[in-house]
Amino acid sequence: MSRKQQLLKQHRRNKRLGLLVALVVLLGLGIFVQWWLPLLLLPLLWVAHEAWFADHLFYSPAEDYQYQFPAQCVAHRIKLVDGMVQVQSPLQLAGGETLVLALGLKSRWLGRFLDPAVLLSGDDCQTFERGVAGLRYLNLTGLGELLAAGQLRLRGRYCRLADEGQLWVVPGSDLRQKRMMVIAPHADDAELAAFGLYSQAQETWIVTLTAGEIEAEHYQQMGMTKAEAARLKGRLRAWDSIAVPRWAGVPESQCVQLGYFCLQLPTMQAAPDQPIASREAELADTRLFRQFNALTLPGDQDGAPTWNNLLADLRELLLKARPEVLVMPHPSLDPHPDHICAQAAVLEALLGLEWQPQTLLGYANHLHDNDRWPMGGSGAGVALPPQLEAQQAWAPYSLTLDLTTQRDKAMALGMMHDLQPPTPFKRRVRRVLQRWLAGRRASPYGENEFFRKAVRRHELFWRRDL
């Protein structure tokens, strides 16, 4: 069981215990006070839960985030004077730096019911946990000119800002000028994490590892069996992985679907020679989902879904594309099992290979501890995610997306079949309650939560130069 699954199990157990205690209290009120009081309070408690307590937040908002920055990053003390950021040492920016401000935040009482946020000059807004009371890391990338000129203003909404903080300047070259390969465990992972980056790169390859065929209930409602629905969903997502990057100008010949099966990569890794069939599609041959590829790969010879075939496919593609930049899931921040194995497979494929990339970029489309990150709405900036232990010192690397690129990214996500089914009724009700009572706005681009989370002012990665 993954750490996130353990946290979710613990969260649900605590919630059930809390509901049981609340039920006992309500029954006591009904017996000893008025019989009708529980009937009134039960729906009110449910509304309060959906509006304010339904988030999956597996840490205390009062904890500090912990980050360790590499040696090449330069720290500057800053002070806030009437909301203006004053850097206390000479600040020299060449352009292209990632700028991160470590600053203490303290929620006001209203910030326990409405999302606290920091408003920045330049129409940015970065949102944090309700009840926040600790060190957080604001993303100032794209605001360097205002910062250098002493014209950057910060204002807390439903929270107070510390008077002093630390500005980290992370030097970096423009990676868009290099050959790039994006590793996507599933169709849409490349677009969620890196559409803005790869759409502007000099040359891009998109390699999708799995067909993402499981959890096809939407297609079962059309009268298909479970296996038929899974095969159709896999074919659709295979098509998406080849076709949607064309919207960003990536040639079809540089988009590859490897067709392995969703959530089976960990089992494949544990038994590298053993074919691991799909959980739901009644398939043990990857070639159905590779039919749109323009290339022939080693795994096409027998279609066997094995870890060794996956490594052979990746080695073939790495030697053919010779990417200078590899974009793939972060090794510790992203807890999805397929994402963890995708990163491990790429690193194993690189061992002893005659071509080696210059730079690794890690991304996180999922988190262990906070399902709402990035918090806030579409178009807002992306602050650094919660991290409660300082881990390996990958340097943050952030790209700023203009409104046109954000809209193009939203349209790319809208083409993805997995993001098109309607939101479940309970979640729609929750969103209405949160809009009315908690001030949360829906994304203008689509119902799926990823439209809110991914269509942002920033794309955020973690960089390691080899």
The per-residue DSSP string of 420-442 comes to: -SPPPHHHHHHHHHHHHHH-PPP
Q: Is the pLDDT of residue 19 over 60?
A: yes
Q: What is the pLDDT of the chain when averaged over all its residues?
A: 93
Which DSSP letter does residue 153 get?
Answer: B
**CA 20 → CA 17, 24, 46, 47, 430, distances in Å?**
5, 6, 13, 17, 21
Q: Is the pLDDT of residue 37 over 70?
A: no
Closest Cα to residue 26, out of 38, 44, 34, 15? 38
Average pLDDT over residues 278-286: 98
- Residue-level pLDDT at 38: 66
The more confident residue out of 129 and 5 is 129
The more confident residue out of 176 and 9 is 176
- Residue-level pLDDT at 443: 97
Contact at 8 Å (CB) between 170 and 177? no
| Band of pLDDT at residue 26, cut at 50, 70 and 90 | low
Q: Is the pLDDT of residue 224 over 80?
A: yes
- Residue-level pLDDT at 34: 65
Give tens-digit pLDDT for 285-311: 999 999 999 999 999 999 999 999 999
For 179, the 3-state DSSP assignment is strand
Q: Is the pLDDT of residue 29 over 90?
A: no
What percentage of the chain exceeds 70 in pLDDT? 91
Give tens-digit pLDDT for 404-460: 999 999 999 999 999 999 999 999 999 999 999 999 999 999 999 999 999 999 999
| Band of pLDDT at residue 135, cut at 50, 70 and 90 | very high
Average pLDDT over residues 168-178: 93
In the sheet where 179-184 sits, what is the strand order? 255-260, 203-210, 179-184, 325-329, 359-363, 458-465, 395-400
Closest Cα to residue 394, out of 75, 70, 169? 70
- Residue-level pLDDT at 148: 93
Q: Is the pLDDT of residue 4 over 60?
A: no
| Report field, pTM of the whole predicted structure over 0.85 | yes
If you write DSSP's letter for every residue of 46-69 in order, what string do you get? HHHHHHHS-S-B-S-TTSPP----
- Residue-level pLDDT at 122: 76
Give tens-digit pLDDT for 371-398: 999 999 999 999 999 998 887 678 999 9
Q: Which residues contact 288 (CB under 8 A, 6 or more apart)?
A: 231, 234, 235, 259
For 246, the 3-state DSSP assignment is helix
Contact at 8 Å (CB) between 30 and 24? no
For 286, the 3-state DSSP assignment is helix
- Residue-level pLDDT at 311: 98
Token pair 């759409």 in the structure block, residue? 199
Closest Cα to residue 371, out of 327, 330, 332, 335? 335
**CA 136 → CA 80, 208, 388, 445, distances in Å?**
15, 34, 11, 28
Give tens-digit pLDDT for 142-166: 999 999 999 999 999 999 999 999 9
Token pair 């954000």 in the structure block, residue? 406
**CA 401 → CA 84, 457, 463, distances in Å?**
24, 5, 18
- Residue-level pLDDT at 12: 62
Closest Cα to residue 164, out of 121, 243, 101? 101
